[in-house]
């Protein structure tokens, strides 16, 4: 982990601080609630008014996720029918937004302050610095809502990383691992994985041209990389 902009990884979203334990009976609940006012107007128009809430075993609200109403995909009709993968979505694409209601941390154990952030798709660099740091190379990167101005894809991965660095106030973006999730249920739920990882299973609407499909998201909210 020598680079100024490097990754750390696995799939999903957060943990840490006294409010985020590695063990617990987490649950997800879908509620109708407005998109946070901190989200820029161009982005807010793309987001659903249904939020998925992550709760701990005591019912304390930890985070809320708003998915995009429809993800733009790059896939064939056959791929769309089978179910999309992360690699059929352009890197830096806006996936949704999240509000952290408690102090937390990303997959690298970097502190994430309470507040509102956008979620954009990123892929782990294929280099020696990142070998063995995550079971999968797909991530959500967080960008502070005030720093994310438009809903379209960003210029490139470097721009996304630099924006996300501001969210962590470090030289590394805020990253949350994405597990493969090819058959998501219609209703969001929390699923426990190996090594203390807990992911929210989400079913995101997607489209290619006029054809409709879905992308299963496996967003890890609880759990960290074991790499140092």
Element (H, E) at 164: helix 157-168
**Strand 189-193, strand 115-123: pairing:** unpaired
Tokens 């501001």 correspond to 166
12-16, 69-73, 198-202, range with the lowest pLDDT: 12-16
Residues in the chain: 228
Give the Cα separation of 86 and 204 in Å (integer). 11
Look at residue 15 in the predicted model and tell me its pLDDT.
Answer: 35
Give the Cα separation of 22 and 27 in Å (integer). 14
* pLDDT 10s digits, 95-131: 999 999 999 899 999 999 999 999 999 999 876 555 5
Residue 94 pLDDT exceeds 80: yes
Mean pLDDT, rounded, for 56-80: 94
Mean pLDDT, rounded, for 152-174: 96
| Pick from 188, 172, 119, 126: nearest CA to 148 | 119
Residue 210 pLDDT exceeds 90: no
Look at residue 17 in the predicted model and tell me its pLDDT.
Answer: 35
Residue 19 pLDDT exceeds 90: no
The whole-angstrom distance between residue 12's C-alpha and the CA centroid of its chain comes to: 6
Look at residue 13 in the predicted model and tell me its pLDDT.
Answer: 36
List the chain domain ranges.
27-222
More confident residue, 184 or 15: 184
Instruction: For residue 151, report the phi and psi dihedrals to the nearest 5 degrees.
Output: -80, -20
Mean pLDDT, rounded, for 200-219: 95
Residue 11 pLDDT exceeds 60: no
More confident residue, 173 or 22: 173
- Residue pair 223/198 in contact (Cβ under 8 Å)? The answer is yes
Read off the pTM.
0.87
């Amino acid at each position: 982990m020598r680079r100024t902009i490097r990754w750390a990884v696995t799939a999903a979203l957060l943990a840490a601080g006294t409010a985020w334990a590695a063990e617990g009976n987490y649950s997800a609940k879908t509620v109708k609630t407005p998109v946070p006012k901190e989200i820029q107007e161009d982005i807010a128009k793309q987001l659903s008014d249904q939020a998925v809430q992550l709760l701990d075993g005591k019912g304390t609200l930890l985070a809320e996720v708003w998915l995009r109403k429809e993800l733009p995909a790059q896939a064939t009709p056959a791929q769309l029918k089978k179910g999309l993968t992360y690699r059929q979505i352009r890197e830096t694409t806006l996936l949704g937004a999240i509000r952290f209601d408690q102090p937390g941390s990303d997959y690298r154990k970097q502190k994430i302050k309470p507040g509102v952030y956008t979620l954009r798709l990123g892929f782990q660099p294929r280099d020696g610095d990142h070998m063995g740091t995550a079971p999968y190379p797909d991530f959500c990167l967080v960008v502070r809502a005030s720093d994310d101005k438009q809903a379209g894809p960003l210029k490139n991965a470097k721009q996304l990383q630099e924006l996300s660095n501001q969210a962590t106030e470090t030289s590394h973006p805020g990253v949350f691992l994405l597990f493969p999730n090819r058959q998501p249920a219609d209703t969001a739920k929390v699923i426990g994985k190996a090594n203390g990882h807990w992911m929210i299973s989400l079913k995101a609407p997607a489209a290619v041209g006029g054809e409709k499909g879905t992308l299963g998201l496996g967003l890890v909210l609880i759990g960290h990389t074991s790499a140092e």
